[in-house]
Amino acid sequence: GKKICLIGDSNIQYSANAFKTYFEETYGCTFTPNGTAGATWEIRDGYASAVEKVDEMIANADESTSLCTDYDFVLIMMGTNCSAVGTVEDTSAITTTMCGAVRYCLEKLLYYYRKSKIGVILPPQRNDGNKSQLTKNNLIQQICEEYSVPTLDLNRRGQIVGDSKLGESSYYLSDGLHFGANG
């Protein structure tokens, strides 16, 4: 009977039905995917952002308690499309960098969803190279640790390898970036 929201980019948007089916059938929970292709953590012209998605979620807070109770778990899987990375010193007032936006989202969620479990999923490997993704994931993880928000590192521990095949045409990532059926 738990309610889960998963905020993300195209990996969430394109895999929404698979995630929804898995969570609802396996755990009997209600699953709300909130993914948009091209989405980033940071506010960037022409792109959806985690900042905007979080702001939309907290717009429904109870005015008397400043509390949102619509989800038991709020998970964010972002970081694949971020371009303005910033530094871990960026404050939550700087929502135009990934690092500032991560802080902004965590602070807002931890305040408005204080009865919910908050977590961050670090993006998996990809065929076109992992050095940039690892750098971004390390920064995201470092910020999450400051807020005691757990992370699931799909890049290092998810066993989703960008260029590995399980069979003749069976990939973890269907196109080297987005989850395939096995992913």
Q: Write out the chain's pLDDT in tens, 183 residues.
A: 899 999 998 878 877 777 788 888 998 999 898 989 889 999 999 999 999 999 999 997 888 888 888 899 999 999 888 888 999 999 999 999 999 999 999 999 999 999 999 999 998 766 655 667 888 999 999 999 999 999 988 777 655 655 555 444 446 665 556 566 656
Q: What is the pLDDT of residue 168?
A: 40
**Is the overall model pTM greater than 0.75, yes or no?**
yes
Determine contact, residues 124/155, Cβ cutoff 8 Å: yes
Own/partner pairs, 155-159, CB within 8 angstroms, 24+ separation: 155/122, 155/123, 155/124, 155/125, 155/130, 158/124
Q: What is the pLDDT of residue 116?
A: 95
Q: What is the pLDDT of residue 167?
A: 46
